[in-house]
């Protein structure tokens, strides 16, 4: 049996039928990580001892018929989520020795549902980047072609799922950091509605934009994980009290009704963006045809403030980052520069040596935007633009059930190709940023391949708290195109 090919759903079935044990499954994946991850670099920490202990407990629970939705399933976590007793680095030198004393709410939910936490994945430092080249520890490679980036900032999680090192993984999405690497690695990435999933225990980059979500081998697995991690949390004041449906019903709805009666909107502003790769255009066009054949009505819509999204985002996100990262001063936890003349010098030396270049760049941008005399001109104005962006989406969803777009303007690029060009890096998220600014859900589903054999995904964005429509449409598209069985041979 090829254990690494199992999805969450298929592994569940075999575990419950006693045809495989969690220890066997977990051991096989740990062996695969040991054999191949030196080439990919998807993990910062592999917690072999705890993973096998959790797997043994899962097998006992299954024997006792004490089974939950993820019992015995090996899952990886982006190293931005606090894990009790396991190092949480955020991909930064400044947290190199930080071991949390508590689990993030979603980590606790995974454990309560029987999941096996197999390790912590690599990321752009503090989730600031689009290529996973900004980590203080390593550069993650794309499993489809190791000369290329996997995307970011959740590149480690996406690469781990694509390379079949785990059944599924969790990432975080501040401006596309789940959807873009999922697209580049040929897997499914779902960013839930802001507030759908608790952020308690997530080390924040930009608090009003961050959201945790699943990266999986197929859409059905995304629904299974979303069922587990969703829901209100008293520890998170931004956590929504909106009822959580059974997201598996979205899959059932497609099986009963296909996609007939659904409407997809294509923003005319997105298709006029300069520099869209011809392969991306072709895959997107073909995806629209497939959805039409499934009964979806395609219509053109308008999101008139699209041209301001990138500019507004790169004021709001760095501003919030400059505030959130102020706590990392070398006093309470993390790296401290001991060779300092006084307290102020210790602050300066710790932050200068502990943070990487991209993090320092964004902190400086954010601090400037929030400074006296500039707050209204920059942050205040960007916040007003954000309101207009939200209104654009609200009007658009009056005419459609979901919005269809590319995930990124181009497939994955070569490692090192754009590392010295921050503006080009920032523009790679042009199609994904809007969902975070508006707080709406979005999903990336594999849709095809470039002329170089690199995966390309399509994006579907939905109304607030309507992940059901995205899962239904995503599953229908996926089942028709049948790319979910393909994975890279490493």
Question: For residue range 346-380, what is the model confidence (pLDDT) as tens digits?
Answer: 999 999 999 999 999 999 999 999 998 899 999 99
Q: Interior CA angle at 263 toward 258 and 268, to 5°? A: 140
* Cβ neighbourhood burial of 19 (10 Å; 0-12, 13-18, 19+): exposed
Strands (E), 202-246: 211-216
Q: Are strands 116-121 and 43-46 parallel, antiparallel or unpaired?
A: antiparallel
Per-residue model confidence as pLDDT tens digits over 236-265: 999 999 999 999 999 999 988 889 999 999
- Please tell me the distance from the alpha carbon of residue 412 to that of residue 357, in angstroms, as a whole number: 22
Secondary structure element (H or E) that encloses residue 264, with its range: strand 263-267
* Cα(305)–Cα(321) distance, integer angstroms: 24
Whole-number pLDDT of residue 445: 98
Q: What is the sign of the dihedral through the CA atoms of 256, 261, 267 and 270?
A: positive
Distance between CA 115 and CA 95 in Å, rounded? 26
Antiparallel, parallel or unpaired: β 263-267 and 402-406: parallel
Four-residue CA torsion sign, 71, 76, 81, 85 = positive
CB 335 within 8 Å of CB 96:
yes
Looking at residue 28, what is its pLDDT? 98
Contact (Cβ atoms closer than 8 angstroms) between residue 94 and residue 332: no
Please confirm, yes or no, whether 452 is among the known catalytic residues.
Answer: no
- From the list 42, 78, 93, 109, the catalytic residue is 78
Q: Which domains does the chain have, with CATH numbers?
A: 1-490 (3.90.1300.10)
Residue 119 parent element (H or E): strand 116-121
Q: Which residues pair with 168 in a beta bridge?
A: 75, 216
- The rounded Cα 486 to chain-centroid distance in angstroms is 20
Q: Give pLDDT, residue 372.
A: 86
Task: Provide the residue count of the chain.
Answer: 490
Cα separation, 437 vs 261, whole angstroms: 28
Partners of 191 in the beta sheet? 442
The packing angle between helices 467-481 and 219-229, to 10°, is 160
Q: What is the pLDDT of residue 256?
A: 85
pLDDT of 1: 72
Going edge to edge, which strands form the sheet with 442-449?
Answer: 43-46, 116-121, 74-78, 168-173, 211-216, 188-191, 442-449, 455-462, 402-406, 263-267, 297-301
DSSP 431-484: TTHHHHHHT--EEEEEEEE-TTS-EEEEEEEESTT-HHHHHHHHHHHHHHH--T
**Catalytic residue of the set 21, 42, 153, 469:** 153
Q: Is 153 one of the catalytic residues?
A: yes
Sign of CA dihedral 192, 198, 202, 208: positive
Catalytic residue among 22, 177, 198, 444: 177
- Region of 405 please: left (phi>0), alpha (psi -120 to 50) or beta: beta
222: part of which helix (H) or strand (E)? helix 219-229
Cα–Cα–Cα angle for 13, 158, 144, rounded to 5 degrees: 100
pLDDT tens digit at each of 490 positions of the chain:
799 999 999 999 999 999 999 999 999 999 999 999 999 999 999 999 999 999 999 999 999 999 999 999 999 999 999 999 999 999 999 999 999 999 999 999 999 999 999 999 999 999 999 999 999 999 999 999 999 999 999 999 999 999 999 999 999 999 999 999 999 999 999 999 999 999 999 999 999 999 999 999 999 999 999 999 999 999 999 999 999 999 999 999 998 888 999 999 999 999 888 889 999 999 999 999 999 999 999 999 999 999 999 999 999 999 999 999 999 998 988 899 888 899 999 999 999 999 999 999 999 999 999 998 899 999 999 999 999 999 999 999 999 999 999 999 999 999 999 988 888 888 889 999 999 999 999 999 999 999 999 999 999 999 999 999 999 999 999 999 998 788 898 8
Q: What is the pLDDT of residues 302-332, one digit of tens each?
A: 999 999 999 999 999 999 999 999 999 989 8
């Amino acid at each position: 049996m090829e254990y690494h090919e199992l999805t969450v759903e298929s592994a569940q079935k075999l575990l419950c039928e006693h045809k495989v044990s969690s220890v066997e499954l977990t051991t096989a994946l740990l062996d695969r990580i040991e054999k191949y991850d030196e080439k990919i670099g998807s993990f910062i920490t592999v917690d072999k001892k705890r993973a096998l202990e959790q797997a043994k407990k899962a097998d006992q629970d299954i024997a006792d018929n004490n089974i939950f939705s993820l019992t015995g399933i090996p899952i990886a976590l982006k190293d931005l989520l606090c894990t009790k007793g396991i190092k949480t680095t955020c991909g930064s030198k400044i947290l190199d020795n930080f071991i949390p004393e508590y689990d993030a709410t979603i980590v606790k939910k995974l454990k309560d549902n029987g999941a096996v936490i197999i390790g912590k994945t690599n990321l752009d430092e503090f989730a600031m980047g689009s290529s996973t080249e900004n980590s203080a520890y390593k550069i993650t490679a794309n499993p489809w072609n190791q000369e290329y980036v996997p995307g970011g900032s959740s590149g480690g999680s996406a690469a781990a799922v694509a390379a079949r090192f785990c059944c599924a993984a969790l990432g975080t999405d501040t401006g596309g950091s789940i959807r873009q690497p999922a697209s580049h690695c040929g897997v499914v990435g779902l960013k839930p509605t802001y507030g759908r999933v608790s952020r308690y225990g997530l080390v924040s980059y930009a608090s009003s934009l961050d959201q945790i979500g699943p990266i999986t081998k197929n859409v059905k697995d995304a629904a299974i994980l979303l069922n587990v991690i969703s829901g209100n949390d008293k520890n998170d004041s931004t956590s929504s009290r909106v009822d959580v449906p059974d997201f598996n019903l979205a899959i059932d709805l497609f099986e009963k009704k296909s996609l007939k009666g659904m409407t997809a909107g294509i923003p005319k502003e997105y298709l006029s963006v300069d520099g869209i790769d011809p392969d991306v255009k072709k895959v997107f066009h073909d995806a629209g045809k497939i959805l039409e054949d499934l009964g979806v009505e395609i219509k053109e819509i308008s999101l008139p403030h699209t041209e301001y999204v990138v500019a507004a985002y790169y004021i709001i996100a760095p501003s919030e980052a400059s505030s959130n990262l102020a706590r990392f001063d070398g006093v309470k936890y993390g790296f401290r520069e001991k060779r300092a003349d006084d307290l102020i010098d210790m602050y300066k030396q710790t932050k200068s040596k502990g943070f990487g270049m991209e993090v320092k760049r964004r902190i400086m941008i954010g601090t400037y935007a929030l400074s006296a005399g500039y707050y209204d001109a920059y942050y205040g104005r960007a916040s007003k633009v954000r309101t207009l962006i939200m209104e654009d989406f609200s009007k658009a969803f009056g005419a459609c059930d979901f919005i269809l777009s590319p995930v990124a303007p181009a497939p994955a690029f070569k490692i090192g190709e754009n590392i010295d060009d921050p503006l080009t890096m920032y523009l790679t998220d042009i199609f994904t940023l809007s969902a975070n600014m508006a707080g709406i859900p979005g999903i990336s589903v594999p849709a095809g391949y470039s002329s170089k054999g690199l995966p390309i995904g399509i994006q579907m964005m939905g109304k607030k708290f309507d992940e059901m429509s995205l899962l239904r449409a995503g599953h229908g598209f996926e089942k028709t195109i049948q790319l979910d069985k393909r994975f890279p041979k490493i």
